[in-house]
Structure 1
């Protein structure tokens, strides 16, 4: 099957190499356990920034440790590479699994988000929204590779 919208298969390995360490460090960074100290003095251009002590900035520069932004971007890029790289033998069956997994991940992601909107508030909801940036891709990856594993296991038993 010819698909132009998927990355080549070798991007999957690159994606895992990026995703695993950045996800681990990203979770640690969210809870202030980890940060790159050398980035403490970084002046970053901000479209909008609202700091409790310094006030708000619009179209200006702010001091910010960009560890969490770097790790978030790496997580997203790594997850996209893992999720949307071709399999070695990409066919209609795998395309069907891929599409069904994406729909399933979307439903589950928004069901979780609705639940959290009802029961999480203030800073807790901020954490929910931070993690929600990544959950749809992670749910898709988990579901897609689980269904691939299940289908490979059932076809190997038939042989």
Structure 2
């Protein structure tokens, strides 16, 4: 696998990824607060909770932090920039690049594709009516690649 970027871009890519992960998490804070308060209220009042009642409470509740449009924009750009950060990390050189690292990169890519598609197939078989965006699947694949490559590079062959 050909590396295109210098070594210092690895650190920049990780920083971008962490910042975007935080942005994506903050954009989902309204869902967390709604789910937490609905669950708390249903256990306190001993009533059954349903998706429709949570959505109705959410629309009546005006103290949400983000509008739906702001949340969608933050999620999209958070995913997209996180993907850019991971790509910067993946396409950067090692301190000493040789054939061994090229082989590890290839193996990690194959393993990440197999794991990602396995997760996708299991999820589709168990939750067939839920749609998964291609951007989130690609980001999952890149994260799995980084984890597998780091495992192979640091623990599998150096211990």
Report the TM-score when normalising by structure 2.
0.66
Unaligned runs of 5+ in 1: 35-62, 155-159
Tell which has more relative contact order, 1 or 2 (C-alpha 8 A, sep 6+): 2
Report the TM-score when normalising by structure 1.
0.66
User: Root-mean-square deviation (CA), in Å?
Assistant: 2.5
Decide which structure has the larger Cα Rg and report it: 2
**Aligned position for 1:7:** 5
Unaligned runs of 5+ in 2: 33-67
Counterparts of residues 39-58 of structure 1 (less than 5 Å): none
By percentage of residues, which structure has more helix? 2
By percentage of residues, which structure has more strand? 1
Residues 130/80 of structure 1: CA separation in 2 closer, same or farther (3 Å cut):
closer
2:148 counterpart of 1:143: yes
Instruction: Determine the C-alpha separation between the residues in 1 that align with 2:5 and 2:157.
Output: 22
Q: 1:116 aligns with which of 123, 134, 141?
A: 123
Instruction: Determine the C-alpha separation between the residues in 1 that align with 2:121 and 2:133.
Output: 11
Instruction: Determine the C-alpha separation between the residues in 2 that align with 1:67 and 1:120.
Output: 25
Instruction: Determine the C-alpha separation between the residues in 1 that align with 2:121 and 2:102.
Output: 29
